[in-house]
Structure 1
Amino acid sequence: MSSPHDFDFFFGDWDVAHRRRKDFLDPASEWEEFTAVSRCWSLFGGAANIDEMDCRGEGFMGLTLRLFDHETEDWSLNWSSSRSGKLFPPVFGRFGADSRGEFHGDDAYDGRPVRVRFVWSGISARTAVWEQAFSVDGGRSWLDNWEMRFTRRAACGTL
């Protein structure tokens, strides 16, 4: 059963190793890697949270607002980048009994409509993994295009 405390594991400071395709829809696209730092904090007694990610080496910052819907018991995950200053369309979903979270939504990439999937897995006190995939065929097939591996920071720092 989904809970307003599903993301409690994520509160605090993290080092982040990114791996993403240069072209999110090209399975032959090269992967690029970079690092970031992230901080997540709780709102609404755990039923909402925000994380801010500093990708200084890439020239942008990212922000995710997560909101728990008490009626549906689903989460909405809402992403924004300092490059655009706009919220991307949200993805919706929940965590299963296996502690794996799966979230889906609709967006566009380079003018093409895409189905978006976020997956949270590998969750422990010190680690977590986030993965993004796009589908151009309504979810029948997926292309993984971004992965973030989170490692809890040993000491609190600043972004």
Structure 2
Amino acid sequence: MSDTQDSTVAARGFGFLHGDWDVVNRRRTDFLDPESDWDEFPATSRCWGLFDGAANIDEIDVPSRGWKGLTLRLFDVETGEWSLNWSSSRSGKLFPPVSGRFGADGRGEFHGEDTHDGKDVRVRFLWSGISETTARWEQAFSLDEGSSWLTNWTMDFTRRSDV
């Protein structure tokens, strides 16, 4: 890719997320149990860009639960993929990254490897429903190398107009 193409791809990636958002979280009470209940809670998020669109950081604030989260996203010029790197104030540790890209349909799909409750899991993040005022993020785990997925966390973003 040329430098111009790199910048175009990078800017298209997560540029939609820059700004301030209200977020509705829905999370399974047990990430590996399809029968577990859903827990819903609000949050706010602020995202800003770096590296002329080839990176960004967001911080999500969940005051009702007493924690914050941070995502660092980096565009790899060589592979044309994004890496998404998550940390939570609950642990102060960086989780293993997921990586992937956006398709022509505007939907982003990102995969990685992690462990949950002592089990190896394949992780999938999906970004969809992207507009000027909305976006949706989903996390799913697979215990069978990606043959089946259990969605265990969703976030519905609505751009804040009062900021």
TM range (shorter): over 0.9
Please say if 1:144 is aligned against 2:146. no
Structure 1 counterpart SS, 2:56: strand
**Could you tell me how far apart the structure 1 residues matched to 2:87 and 2:110 are?**
16
Aligned-pair Cα RMSD in Å: 1.0
Count of equivalent residues: 156
Query: Which residue matches 1:70?
Result: 77
- Residue of 117, 124, 132 corresponding to 2:124: 117
- What pairs up with 1:4-153 in 2 under 5 angstroms? 4-5=10-11, 6-153=13-160
**Could you tell me how far apart the structure 2 residues matched to 1:55 and 1:106 are?**
25
CA shift digits 1:52-98 (9 cap, x unpaired): 00001011000000000001000000000000001000000000000
The AA in structure 1 aligned to 2:129 is: G
Structure 1 counterpart SS, 2:16: helix
TM, length-normalised to structure 1: 0.96
Which structure shows the higher helix fraction? 2
Query: Which residue matches 2:9?
Result: 3
The AA in structure 1 aligned to 2:153 is: W
Structure 2 counterpart SS, 1:3: helix
Q: Comparing both chains, which one has the higher relative contact order based on Cα–Cα distances under 8 Å and sequence gaps of 6 or more? A: 1
**Could you tell me how far apart the structure 1 residues matched to 2:67 and 2:140 are?**
21
TM, length-normalised to structure 2: 0.94
Over 3 Å off, 4+ runs: none
Q: Which sections of structure 1, spanning at least 5 residues, go unmatched?
A: none
**Could you tell me how far apart the structure 2 residues matched to 1:8 and 1:137 are?**
33
Structure 1 residue 3, shift from structure 2 partner: 1.3
**Could you tell me how far apart the structure 2 residues matched to 1:122 and 1:147 are?**
12
CA shift digits 1:27-69 (9 cap, x unpaired): 0000000000000000111100000000010110000000000
Structure 1 residue 155, shift from structure 2 partner: 2.1
